[in-house]
Every structure is written in C-alpha cells, then in structure tokens.
Chains A and B, each alone.
Chain A
Amino acid sequence: MSVVTLTVNGQDVAVPAGASLLEATRAAEANVPTLCHLEGLTPVSSCRLCLVEVEGSGKLLPACSTAAAEGMVVHTHTPRLREYRRMTVELFFAEGNHVCAVCVANTHCELQDMAVTVGMDHSRFPYQYPQRPVDATHPQFTLDHNRCILCTRCVRVCDEIEGAHVWDIGSRGGQCHIVAGLDEPWGQVQACTSCGKCVDVCPTGALFRNSDTTAEKQPNTTLPALLRTAREQHRWHNQ
C-alpha cells in the first residue's frame, strides 16, 4: 500500500494514498469540524466547515472531498478559518428555526455541538424565522423542516446505503427543502422501507422517531460506515 506524507499544523502525518485531507487531519488529531460529512457516505462539501488552508493553493479546500497529496502543508485552525466557521454556524442558526429548549435532539444535536465548538453563543445575523411545515404523515417518523440544515445525509444514506432514494432536494436557494418521493407526504411514499437510517444519521432534530420527545433523540451515525465496510470488504464489526 503506498503512502503519502504531509504536514498538518506543523505535524508530519502519513496516510494511505487515496485518503482524504480529512483523514489526514484526523491522523494529526486536528479536530477539523464537519457537519454534512459522514463516514460511509459520498462527501458533498456543502457545509463548508471543514475548509482548510493548503499552502500554495489560492483557495480554501474542503478537507472531506480533497485528496491528501504528498508534501501538502495544511493549516486547519488559522484565525480566518475560525472566523469563517463561526459565521457559517451563525448562518445555519439564522436561516432555520432552531429552538433547542423544545427540540427532540437537544443535547444530542451536532449543530448545537458545533455552536459550542466554534464558540458561537449568539448570531450576529438577524434570524429569518422562515415559515416551514412539519410532515407527520409517516407512521413511525416525523420530518420537521424547521430544524433541517440541508446537509443531505438523509438523501445520501437512503440512496447509497438503503437503495430506496426516497429523499431528494426541491426548490432552490433559501427555499430549498428536503422532499420525500415526488414531493409527496412522507407517509404516502411507497418506496420508503421505514428502515429509519435517515433518522439515525440526521445531525439535528429534523428527522426523529414519533416516540421521542424533548431531548430524547438518540442518533446512530456510525451505521453507514459499518454497512459500507461490511458490504465492500465483507468485514463485520463483531468479527
């Protein structure tokens, strides 16, 4: 197996060729924050939180979808990156209706954790208070659009792991929202197998089990990676 070596925050690391920059930063224990990324799913680079500086590249690069290359010099926590991450999280909070106190995911929410990580205690941008619906037509699960951050983990896990492709994105810009089936009520989508993978990987309280109430959601975000290694490498986590 060939290996590439690079420098992350002054520390030399070696990762297998083909590994992403994110894996390299993790090897250096650099704690690059991620929100849309999830092991086992195709990276989409849409949350922009994992942007890092690579010397010699004029642009900031998303660590999740950039391949680590020999000799790269990477900086993950420069002052401007910290500031951009904080602004990004502020934008997330300002564009939706995130009310932690009444949310099923309170204390288990990746967005909430991210606010703590980047040191965001309030948003400098005005809250938009968008009018968004809740889809409670599914017998077991509910989709609350108010809490959706459009990370598309649900879209990807349903398409890539479950193979049902129930979810997709409708509209554009600020009107973007997750749609079930052909923009139908979730409960009417026959393709849905009710497997619950979308609920498990959702980073916020946008998708939850009907049985959960405030602060009771218990996500399981390791599932896609386990299933992928099981299928592709025939390796099971209990072996």
Chain B
Amino acid sequence: MIEVREVHKSFGALAVLKGVNLNVEKGEVVSVIGSSGSGKSTLLTCINGLEQINSGSILVDGVEVHARTTDLNKLRRKIGIVFQQFNAFPHLTALENVMLAPRKVLGMTKAEAEAIAVTQLSHVGLADKLSIYPGKLSGGQQQRMAIARALAMSPAYMLFDEVTSALDPQLVGEVLDTLKLLANDGTTMICVTHEMSFARDVSDRVAFFHQGVLAEIAPPDQFFNAPQHPRTKEFLSNVR
C-alpha cells in the first residue's frame, strides 16, 4: 500500500505540492489527471524518492520513503516508474536494457535475467526487437521497452508519468494497450495521464490534481458523470 500524507514540496519559491493525501491499495489502478504544472509528475518522483519532500510523509508498505534510515535502492526495487521522456539506455540493446537491473541489482545470472527480459519484452509486444538498439526503435516501442524494463524487477507498484505525452498520436494506442494489459493483470498502478478515455476505462479511481492538491478523487463513473469540485467540472468540460 502507498500512503501519501500531507506532502508538501517546493522547488525554491515555487510550491508544487501543497498538502497531498492519497492512499493506493494493492491491486488498485489510480489515474491522476489535471492541467500541466499542477504537480502530478512531482508526486510520482517523490513516491520513489527521486525527489525530496519538504514535509509530510510517504509510506510504501509501511516504509517511510524519505526517512534517513531507508535504503532507497532496496525500496525502489518494488516501485517501477516509467517517465514521459524516452529514457532507454542507448548503448544497450532492448534485451540488455531490460537485463541490466535484474543482473546488477537482484544479482541474477545472465541466463535468469535473460529469461525474464525475454518474457517481459514479449509481454509488451517486442519479442522481435530483442537485439535492436533503442535508437532504432520508435517512440512507442521505446516506451514499451521502458515498461518491460521496469516490470523485469517484479515491482509491487508501477508509476506511469504521462508515458504517452511524447508520442506521435498513432503510437499512443499501442502503449495504452500495454498499460491496460498490466491493469488487467492486477498490477498496482498510479498513472499520471492526459488520456481521459484510459482513465475512465481502466482506473479503479480517478484523482484530479489542482494547484498542488488533490481536489477530488472518486471512482470513474462518479468522477466523470457527477464531479463534485467546481475545478473538476471546469477541467472536464474543457477536455471533452
């Protein structure tokens, strides 16, 4: 379970998170929507400890992420994250990209890591791209490879930070299909997204981020059909 409690985070004078509260249960898919710059992505990078927080706390399975005694390298094994920008390791093939962390972090043998990497790459539809370098993959393929790379660590939680935002429109579908596949597998996911239909169809709950706080969080039916918060209503009427 991920518990976000009264988290405040600023970059210099700019307050990005202003008291965020969010609980995500095992197996749950939560979509986070909201206008750009509202702090959605920052929340994700705080959850796996890539960013420090100013106050509040974030607990993952009861372990406080930002406590001094927390071994972040160990904690991050169970939190996978995929970013908006392509972030493949350009000097490694798709297979090697996925094998790196299982080998170096989990200490698997080459054969073990390779078996897992092949499984995960096949799962995201890249079985025929194993020996291809990222430079020769399309944006959609790179994102799917990044998903496979995160999944190879068998994380308990997956965080997706606008993974389709940098893609050409015709490539968005293949990545969203991969995300749906994961959701159906029962993966616990937090998806920051601008894809309303995805949020509606796949999520257990949808959260609306506005000016550094979670203005509203509700199951998709209620969220899209009967939003409570005036800002949610305004936002939804603009994206429709």
**Is the pairing of A and B real?**
no
